[in-house]
Structure 1
Amino acid sequence: MQQDAPDTGLFTPLEFAPTRRRQILFVAVLLALAGPGLGWAAAAQLPGMALAWRVLVGAAVLLPCLWLARTLWRHAASSAPVLRLDGRGISGSLLQPPVPWDVLEDAQLERGGMLRLQRRADAQHPDVPQGWLRRNPARPRVSLHLLSPRQQDIAYDAIHARLDVLRLRAGTGEAAGRRAARDEDAFESHLDTLVPTPWALYVVVAANVLAWAMNWAAGMSPTKPLSPELFAWGANAASAVVLDGQWWRLLTATFLHGGMVHLVFNMLGLWEAGKQLCRLLGNGQFALVYGASALAGSAASLHYAAQNSISVGASGAVFGVLGALVTASWHYRHLVPATNLRRLWTGLGFFIGYSLLHGFTQENVDNAAHVGGLACGMLLGLVLLAPIDRQAAAARRRKRAAAMGLLAAAAVGYSVLATPVPRVWHAQVYAAQALLPDIARRFDQGFRQMAQDSQRLQRGEIRQPVFLQNAEQTIGPVCSAITEELVPLRVPRWEQAGRLVHMYLQVCAITMRSLALEQAMLRRDPDLPADAQAQLAQLSGQMQATMRELAETVRRVPVPPQRGPVRAPPAQP
């Protein structure tokens, strides 16, 4: 008998055939095809390791993908029903032998389609996890992923319809799993009534995607945008916020991302937690948590990653939402069903812990923004009042939210004012990087012409006065223009751009000083220093040393083209 409605007959056979066969087969094929690529990508992340270790890492990624693809294919290709309920008990393609009704005590349907059964423990089925997979013989699990969500609900109701009859006959009452499921459904329905649509989450996600799309439309790479481009669009940097007074970057940086992958992972992390927080605290308070956590994460970054590099990404805000969900659910744990709390805290705890650990092991991840956003979100989640709290009137909730918003603004302002002196002045560095390609071109042209005239002078084709006159007409204007453009830039010499700026200015200064001395010697200027010849020789030595250093610097790290300034990768909170 094929299921089409909930069934209450105790021994009426009821089969649940797979209805998501095509989707599962597609996922299996996708995993089989993506596995080699994922394995290669994982191995490519370890360029400094020996080949054997990289092969091992690649295999560690590839083999689970292939195993999962094979398992999904085998399950989807099977003609056996996913689940069968009859007089013998509960059985299915993944559950053999059947679990008899007389030993079944409870059943729970977990999110994701996993059916967890609980049978009476005995000698053959002890209630103890066994093996390295930690499978519990008294608590078998059945995957219902081949069934649609409606089929899963019908199967769950059919199991409990039979189980309720048996427990009623035995006088044991309703199963705990049934009561927990009913409480969870009632809680979810109540949240849906209070907040029917999480529109604040939709607005935030749309704003992040729109910012990325606008970057792409403006000519930026959708996968690896350049740091100067992100900086021009509002990336966070301690120098820009503290020295240039551009406080607005604390917010704009949280809507920029270092590529499509960065954006997708942040939005995936935000989506489910954001929906839960919207429904728990309301759309307005969700917006407060998101905005305050975004600013707190950016402010914390000013003391660490944003000191040296730019910082972009919504991860600070995402961590704030996660932290607020943890503390708000703990605050209202007496109103939230226990099953919701266990599932929520387990998932959030793993995600937060893994993300923080990953951030501490990666150089281009701004973990200060993660921690700052998380701390702000946890505080707000603990203090803000939820609509499910019947003792908190709407006016009281609004006053509490306003007070916390002012407190968060004050904390962010103090953090900005307490920021140490930035190590890198990004606006100046990027301005120098934008100028250097054209500076290098004009510099090479001018000094190439001067070198050709010097060779003609050595061959006797021109005389010294003509050489000096040509030099003044060619290299003089070039050095004057280069000096006028580069002198205003305040770029530290430990920066690559700063070293190049310093060397170009030094070469131009030596050249102009040498030409002035030679002109004075040629005119027999009465104010000519007595040691003019020695000064000229010293300047010649300095010129040779500086030109060698300049050539070595350009050879080691070439002057970037106009569209690809040399940069460190942006920190991604």
Structure 2
Amino acid sequence: MTSSPFDPPLTFSADLKQPRRLRWWLYGSLTIGIPIGLAPGLQSGGGMGPLAVVLGVFLLVVLAFEGLVMRKLPKQGSPVFTLTPDVIESPYFLGDTKRFRWADIDSAEVSNANGAQMLQLRLRAHLGLPDRRDFIHGRNPSRPLAGLHALSTPNQEALLDAIASRLRPTGMALLDGPPTAARAEANPLREAREWQERLEALAPRTWVTWSLLGINVLVWMAMVALGASALRGDPALLYAWGGNATSAVQAGEWWRLLTATFLHAGLIHLAFNMLGLYSIGALLERIYGHTQFLLIYLVSGLAGSVASLQFSAQTKVSVGASGAVFGIAGALIVGVYQHRHALPKHFSRPLISGMLPFLGYSLLMGLAQANIDNGAHVGGLVAGALVAWALPERFDLDRYQKLRLSRSALVVVGSALMLFWGVGQTAPAVVNVGAQVRAMNDFPAMASEFDAAMLALRQEAEEVKAGRITQLQADEASRKIHAPRFAELVGRMETTVPYLPGRTGELGRELLNISRAFQETLAMESDIVKGQPLPANPARSAELARQIRASADRLAQLRAASTK
């Protein structure tokens, strides 16, 4: 009697270390994220509104994770797959059928569905099942699926080996195509793991990735230590630290194209970019080597800054490492795609199929939100892909050693020429961002000075009313003290207000109008009639009074609107 490879049956049990680690990571992130999300609303006195919104969002995340992920996982140690001489069985096969006879299975493979590893069986045609997805449930009756995420990595590989050993007597195995003897021994998960281990052996320490992470975080910490908000970017500070702006670059400050890539507008901005760099950087550094990876990162960041000159940097300060991060994402896709036939399919396919939707979603979100610099994203993505196409990967070490120096030199020269050309082709700046930043920084002090000048006039009027000074004395003070004060304020406003944007610009223009009217009124000579000072030009004085009343009404409306 021939012994069966599954006599007794083989059982593969749940090992939930990875989902539990994911749970701890999620809840740890929420513990940090809730205060971060609440801080802006609490700082601005937003009350319970922001609190309710943030807590509601986080509660939905927790409920979705617990309901859609953790609730559907098996208990620790419970059977996930059972293999007997006749069948493979799992309560986690999607659909009603949980048991399949070996005689009905043509082959098995590992697939990725929505980022999850799945065991997919291919059933034989004699069963008469349709080989297409059901429109409602998205399932293919001829290709049943069961998730592998409840198994540890060694158990996943052992499961596939066991399935292959059972299918081998019939000439079937774990395949990506028609069964062949050469592919019968293949275990796609083991191939991908061993390939990953070979890459890690090429660069056990991805020091460039960690150095870039450290530089970005240290720059942000330095800005916070010197007074910047941890959560919100101050355009004046970001510009002073080297933020990108078309007007500044066209004035010769080219260094901003690089320094802007290490600045971030708050902790959330930094966290998302560093998460992207951490997720992609180490793998790309191993594929291209330390020097070539740094070259890809820097060229992508610079290209993103140059592209931004045509878009966001035309009217505002542009900062962030997202151009570089999109660049290394594009480089990874190109590098893997170029060698997709030589790489384990379970390594290359999930990577490409997972990253393309993410990049597409990120770009669409950039189109939907005005504060996202999509120009930098696209510029970095295209540059990273082109540079990766030109540089040799370490999939073939002989070719890599032969070409890396010449190709790197070619990329440096070509990138420099393209970046110079890109800056030269940039349209003239719509806004002088430097002047705008300085104006926004200086205007609050001018508004305070206006209020102080008005308070001095009111106090003087009370002095006259109380009889402590005469009207003639007040008239003289108007020309010698108050008019020069308003004249100095008007001079400062005239060089500042034109650069103020939006609602602040409207407020500034009204303050300038009323300040000019006050300055002219106070400087006007007086005729003394019966001991009382009267305007030397009554008609002009009346016109100025009307202007002051109209401007005061508009100013009150603007200030009221700005406090809502």
Determine if the alignment matches structure 1 residue 241 to structure 2 residue 249.
yes
Determine if the alignment matches structure 1 residue 253 to structure 2 residue 264.
no
Q: Deviation of residue 394 (structure 1)?
A: 2.7
Distance 1:348 1:127, change over 3 A: same
Q: Which residue of 1 aligns with 2:519?
A: 512
Q: Which residue of 1 aligns with 2:176?
A: none
Q: Is the 8 A contact 2:265 2:319 kept in 1?
A: yes
Give the number of equivalent residue pairs: 523
Name the SS for the 1:364 alignment partner: coil
1:92 counterpart (90, 93, 98): 90
Determine if the alignment matches structure 1 residue 220 to structure 2 residue 216.
no
Q: Deviation of residue 145 (structure 1)?
A: 1.9
Name the SS for the 2:350 alignment partner: helix
2:310 counterpart (284, 288, 303): 303
Distance 1:22 1:390, change over 3 A: closer
Question: Which stretch of the first structure deviates more once superposed, 262-271 or 406-415?
Answer: 262-271
> What letter is aligned with 2:559?
V
Q: Deviation of residue 296 (structure 1)?
A: 0.7
Q: Is the 8 A contact 1:115 1:144 kept in 2?
A: yes
Determine if the alignment matches structure 1 residue 544 to structure 2 residue 549.
yes
Q: Which residue of 2 aligns with 1:199?
A: 207
> What letter is aligned with 1:87?
P
Determine if the alignment matches structure 1 residue 159 to structure 2 residue 163.
yes
Q: Please, what TM-score do these two structures have when normalized by structure 2?
A: 0.80
Give the % identical residues: 32
Distance 1:512 1:128, change over 3 A: closer
Whole-angstrom distance in 1 between the partners of 2:65 and 2:384: 39
Higher RCO (CA 8 Å, separation ≥ 6 residues):
1
Whole-angstrom distance in 2 between the partners of 1:74 and 1:492: 58
> What letter is aligned with 2:523?
A
Q: Which residue of 2 aligns with 1:4?
A: none
Post-superposition Cα deviations, 1:454-489, rounded to whole Å, max 9, x if no partner, equal: 366578775331112343565345325424544444
Q: Deviation of residue 184 (structure 1)?
A: 4.1
Q: Deviation of residue 373 (structure 1)?
A: 1.0
Q: Is the 8 A contact 2:304 2:379 kept in 1?
A: yes
Distance 1:87 1:219, change over 3 A: farther
Q: Which residue of 2 aligns with 1:140?
A: 144
Name the SS for the 1:90 alignment partner: strand
Determine if the alignment matches structure 1 residue 9 to structure 2 residue 5.
yes
Q: Deviation of residue 302 (structure 1)?
A: 1.0
Whole-angstrom distance in 2 between the partners of 1:532 and 1:307: 47
> What letter is aligned with 1:141?
L
Distance 1:122 1:199, change over 3 A: farther
Whole-angstrom distance in 2 between the partners of 1:267 and 1:452: 56
2:498 counterpart (476, 481, 491): 491
Q: Which residue of 2 aligns with 1:47?
A: none
Post-superposition Cα deviations, 1:267-304, rounded to whole Å, max 9, x if no partner, equal: 33333333332222222111111111111111111111
Post-superposition Cα deviations, 1:31-70, rounded to whole Å, max 9, x if no partner, equal: 9x98xx99xx9xxxxxxxxxxxxx9xx99x9599548625
> What letter is aligned with 1:13?
P
Q: Deviation of residue 421 (structure 1)?
A: 2.4
Q: Is the 8 A contact 1:107 1:177 kept in 2?
A: no
Name the SS for the 2:264 alignment partner: coil
Post-superposition Cα deviations, 1:414-449, rounded to whole Å, max 9, x if no partner, equal: 222332222222222232222232322232122123
Name the SS for the 1:412 alignment partner: helix
RMSD: 3.8
Q: Summarize the alignment of residues 88-487 of structure 1 with structure 2, pairs less than 5 Å apart.
A: 88-95=86-93, 97-109=98-110, 112-123=116-127, 125-165=129-169, 167=171, 173=181, 175=183, 178=186, 180=188, 184-185=192-193, 187-243=195-251, 245-389=252-396, 392=399, 394=401, 396-454=403-461, 457=464, 462-472=469-479, 475-476=482-483, 478-483=485-490, 485-487=492-494
Distance 1:28 1:192, change over 3 A: closer
Question: Which stretch of the first structure deviates more once superposed, 533-542 or 286-295?
Answer: 533-542
Q: Deviation of residue 149 (structure 1)?
A: 2.1
Q: Is the 8 A contact 1:289 1:380 kept in 2?
A: yes
For structure 2, list consecutive stretches of 5 or more residues without a partner in the other structure.
38-52, 174-178
Q: Is the 8 A contact 2:328 2:381 kept in 1?
A: yes
> What letter is aligned with 1:120?
R
Whole-angstrom distance in 2 between the partners of 1:305 and 1:462: 57
Whole-angstrom distance in 2 between the partners of 1:117 and 1:134: 16
Whole-angstrom distance in 2 between the partners of 1:500 and 1:454: 26
Name the SS for the 1:122 alignment partner: helix
Distance 1:181 1:144, change over 3 A: closer
Question: Which stretch of the first structure deviates more once superposed, 184-193 or 257-266?
Answer: 184-193
Q: Deviation of residue 20 (structure 1)?
A: 1.3
Distance 1:25 1:273, change over 3 A: closer
Post-superposition Cα deviations, 1:204-236, rounded to whole Å, max 9, x if no partner, equal: 222223333333333433333333333333222
Name the SS for the 1:392 alignment partner: helix
Distance 1:499 1:26, change over 3 A: closer
Question: Which stretch of the first structure deviates more once superposed, 288-297 or 249-258?
Answer: 249-258
For structure 1, list consecutive stretches of 5 or more residues without a partner in the other structure.
1-7, 42-54, 525-529, 560-573
Whole-angstrom distance in 2 between the partners of 1:438 and 1:514: 23
Name the SS for the 1:84 alignment partner: strand
Q: Deviation of residue 125 (structure 1)?
A: 4.1
Post-superposition Cα deviations, 1:6-53, rounded to whole Å, max 9, x if no partner, equal: xx934332222222179449839979x98xx99xx9xxxxxxxxxxxx
Q: Is the 8 A contact 1:297 1:316 kept in 2?
A: yes
Q: Is the 8 A contact 2:14 2:79 kept in 1?
A: yes
Distance 1:105 1:499, change over 3 A: same
> What letter is aligned with 1:17?
S
Whole-angstrom distance in 2 between the partners of 1:413 and 1:464: 67
Whole-angstrom distance in 2 between the partners of 1:24 and 1:331: 36
Whole-angstrom distance in 2 between the partners of 1:122 and 1:168: 16
Distance 1:216 1:153, change over 3 A: farther
Name the SS for the 1:76 alignment partner: coil
Name the SS for the 1:451 alignment partner: helix
Whole-angstrom distance in 1 between the partners of 2:211 and 2:270: 15
Q: Which residue of 2 aligns with 1:553?
A: 558
Distance 1:386 1:24, change over 3 A: closer
Distance 1:266 1:177, change over 3 A: farther
Name the SS for the 2:109 alignment partner: strand
Whole-angstrom distance in 2 between the partners of 1:415 and 1:312: 18
